[in-house]
Amino acid sequence: MARARARLQAALRAHLAARGFDEVETPCLVPAPGMEPHIRAFETTLVPEGGVAPRTLYLHSSPEYAMKRLLAEGFERIFQLARVFRNGEISATHNPEFTMLEMYRSGTDHRGIMADLEAALEAAARALHPAGEPRSIRRGEALDWSAPFPRLTVAEAFAGAGIDLVAAGGDAGRLRAAAAARGLDAGPPGEPFDDVFFRIFLQAVEPGLGRGRPVFLTDWPASMAALARLRADDPRWAERFELYASGLELANGFAELNDAAEQRRRLVEERELRRRLGRPAYPLDEPFLEAVGRMPDAGGVALGLDRLLLLLRGAGAIDEVLLFPAAGFAD
């Protein structure tokens, strides 16, 4: 498995370099981690020599902020195989320390970076297949990694589960009623729209995604835009996508938001949500926010390399593709 990981990384580096992408390195230790409400960062204290006051720092949960600063400084095509850290995430598909392929291309949008990603993943699958074919098998299920991958909107995916997401109109009550009518667990009354959405998604949508072929799930509700632009022709939806294969999320990407004021508003809103949830409210990354307004139009994506290796090698759980999984820390 260690040799397969090396072949996978070498194949991705060779493929991206041949297409003009520069590999970059950014710090793991940062003054402001990501603000996603459900991610907890590892926190530490820098104690400088010479009597300088100690300072709180964090292991980054993504190299996103730093890489976007590079876009603002003129880098056009960049990628990184980054070690990233998320406190508490241990399961069959999660490890608190993992490897992320993060890549950006200026002068494009989410559609352009989807095309970049699917081509890279086809090359990776060929590199790990004994006969050089873009195929893998896991738990008896074959996966065809030939590009291009199918595209499916979030609304279309919900419709496949019998839920009219458009008719819900962002209203949690209507979405709960639709879920209950389908016999799904819609959760307790009073939950916000996003929570109801993900209850339905995890039960009735995600398990069926990417069966036989990876699929891009596009056009997410505007409330879940994160760092993505909203569609100019229909701002109910964000120019965001996720990639799924065999029911497993592999990647999350955007047409990158480059409106500094809107980005600040969203981060402040997420910080307040973290406070309401009783989670640490991290500081805003001011150098990143300053750079957002200078960023060109760009597409970007983050992909979990360990999950990709799990699928390509037919492993049952993520600890099978790691030499030192978190489950072994006690040993």
Instruction: For residue 231, count other CB atoms closer than 10 A to its CB.
Output: 16
22: left (phi over 0), alpha (psi -120 to 50) or beta: beta
Bridge partners of residue 215, in order along the sequence: 244
The span from the CA of 253 to the CA of 120, in Å, is 15
Q: Tell me how far the alpha carbon of residue 275 is from its chain's centroid.
A: 23
pLDDT for 218 beyond 70: yes
314: left (phi over 0), alpha (psi -120 to 50) or beta: left
- In-domain check, residue 201: no
The span from the CA of 250 to the CA of 78, in Å, is 19
pLDDT one-digit tens code per residue, 29-59: 999 999 998 899 999 999 999 889 999 999 9
pLDDT for 331 beyond 80: no
pLDDT one-digit tens code per residue, 151-179: 999 999 999 999 999 999 999 999 999 99
Tally of domains within the chain: 1
The strand pair at 42-46 and 141-144 is best described as: unpaired
- In-domain check, residue 144: yes
Write the CA distances from 66 to 34, 253, 330, integer angstroms: 11, 16, 33
Q: Would you state the pLDDT for residue 328?
A: 63
Q: Would you state the pLDDT for residue 280?
A: 94
Write the CA distances from 331 to 92, 214, 322, integer angstroms: 18, 36, 15
What share of the chain has pLDDT > 90, as a percent? 94
The span from the CA of 235 to the CA of 17, in Å, is 35
- In-domain check, residue 223: no
- In-domain check, residue 65: yes
Kindly state the average pLDDT of the residues 319-326: 94
Run of H or E including 298: strand 298-304
- In-domain check, residue 208: no
DSSP label at residue 117: H
Angle among Cα 97, 306, 13 to the nearest 5 degrees reads: 105
| Domain enclosing residue 254, as ranges | 2-150+243-328
- In-domain check, residue 210: no
**CATH number for position 264:** 3.30.930.10
* Residue located via tokens 């990407």: 253
Instruction: For residue 187, count other CB atoms closer than 10 A to its CB.
Output: 15
The span from the CA of 45 to the CA of 58, in Å, is 8
122 in Cβ contact with 145 (< 8 Å): yes
- 27 phi and psi, to 5 degrees? -65, 145
Kindly state the average pLDDT of the residues 297-309: 98
- In-domain check, residue 6: yes
Structure tokens at 240: 């965001």
Bridge partners of residue 82, in order along the sequence: 100
- In-domain check, residue 186: no
Angle among Cα 173, 234, 192 to the nearest 5 degrees reads: 20
pLDDT one-digit tens code per residue, 104-142: 999 999 999 999 999 999 999 999 999 999 999 999 999
